Amino acid sequence: MAVTESSPPVHSAPQAAAPPEPAADGAVFGPHEWLVLITLCCATFMCGLDFSIVTVALPDIGSALGFSSAGTLQWVATASLLPSASLLPLFARVADLIGRKRLFTLGVAVFTLFSLGAALANSPGMLIAARIGQGTAAAMIAPSAIALMTGYFQEGPGRARALGLNGAVMSLGFVFGALGGGVITNGFSWRWTMVALCVMGALALAGALALPAIHESGAARRMDVPGAILATLGLFGLVYGISTGGDEGWTQPAALGPIVGGLVLLVVFLLVERRHPEPLVPLSVLNRPSVKWSGLFGVVTFGMCAGTTVLLSLYMQDVLGFTALQAGLSYLGEGAAATLGGMYVARLLGRFGGVKVLAAGLLIQGVGTVAMFALPQDVNLAALLVTSSVMGLGHVFSVVSFITVMTTGVTEEDQGVVGGLSQLPQYVAAIGVSGLSAIAAARTNALSSGAAPSPADILGGLHAGMVTAGVVALVGALLVGVVLRKRTTV
């Protein structure tokens, strides 16, 4: 574990004794390593839990607080997503300016505070404001947590194992959010979902305050204000347009306008970054094949898995007639596969390398998703559990390996920036949810010929979306070997 006790980088002071190093092969963690890992994974689990647990509780939130419409209620989820995505590059650079550990601790404290505020909210406005605060805090936590992970754990088996466990915990956060949200909301109240997040935040904060000191170069001295504004507004427009496109229609001004505007601002951002002495995202980093291509494959694995998960939820509730709780329980196979994959992916990375494991992960995810074409109109738990578990296993392999490829060989001063870039795909991948939902809806409408769709029509549409997701993942697996294998040694 690459940890040293030091004062802030602008001063010099005698160093305290460093904590014991892990075993030479990186396979065994000591007490300090476990403290770091548990703390960072707790924060990751909390952020993953946040989105899915709230999504399940939306109907109860709407009736309890008197939201005027379903569109207004959707802002409970969107209000957290938008700042999480748009502020990531800004806080990734802030991590390099003020220190990754400081930003991580601040982010966890802010998240905990706003979770408490959300639990106590008594009006739609108060809840949405609290959700904006939670999303902003998540944008602080995500890049600094990954940067701390790569800072505390040296490249090799130790880091691969840590990233593997972190990837499994991320997937489990989404799965247990769907399950726990249903259990908590049905048994108690939606407010207890926010209390659960508050408790998780308090635990993560206690761990953050106890983290050993970490050496940080502090090479970044200035904030690229124009770049920060352009990146934030560009990503805000892009993610907002993507999030609303599925409901409003992709050609409607409410969706198309923000998407086009966001893309224009991001192009201007890249032009500005070429001239700034200390850019928000150095183009030398962004142009690295291991960064830009693995980021693209991150969008593929997140987008296709998230989109398929939404389609599976529709399949279980609209076709099979499952309750929300039964649907949540059906995700346990995917969660178990994610846990298993996270435990063993480090060994695969050590033996085959990140590029091959990334290709294999997308291949496995694609096969599991395409196989969902066989899901029948009647309940077949074996087919449902097997296909979703295979997809989940491949997804965890893909997530851990693309982050490994992206963060390998990065200099210390750019770890915050790359940490932010590695987290961005899961937010931009909202296009997968909207795109696959649109494909499924179009196919359902075609099958129903304008009449009220039957369960068979709905199933046909869902099959079309699932097969599309699988094919995209399989194409991604083929492209990994083409664009990464000859360009990186990871």
Residues 244-257: tens digit of each pLDDT = 765 666 677 877 88
Task: Return the pLDDT at 7.
Answer: 34
Q: Is 189 left (phi over 0), alpha (psi -120 to 50) or beta?
A: beta
Residues 116-155: tens digit of each pLDDT = 999 998 888 899 999 999 999 998 998 888 888 877 887 7
Task: Return the pLDDT at 1.
Answer: 41
Percent of the chain exceeding pLDDT 90 equals 21
Q: Which DSSP state fits 122?
A: -
Q: How confident is the model at residue 21 (pLDDT cuts 50, 70, 90)?
A: very low
Residue 369, CA distances (Å) to 303, 318, 385, 387 in order: 12, 19, 12, 7
Task: Return the pLDDT at 178.
Answer: 66
Average pLDDT over residues 157-175: 74
pLDDT greater than 80 at residue 475:
yes
Q: Tokens for 409, please give them.
A: 């060989």
Nearest to residue 291, comparing CAs of 92, 186, 425? 425
Residues 45-73: tens digit of each pLDDT = 888 777 777 776 777 787 778 776 656 77
Buried b (16+ CB within 10 A) or exposed e, 234-270: bbbbbbbbbbbbbeeeeeeeebbebbebbeebbebbb
Cβ 195 vs Cβ 66: under 8 Å? no
Proportion of the chain in helix, strand, coil states, percent, rounded to 5: 80, 0, 20
Q: Tokens for 453, please give them.
A: 């769709």
pLDDT greater than 70 at residue 14:
no
d(CA 400, CA 86) in angstroms, rounded, equals: 23
Residues 357-405: tens digit of each pLDDT = 999 999 999 999 999 999 999 889 899 999 999 998 999 899 888 888 8
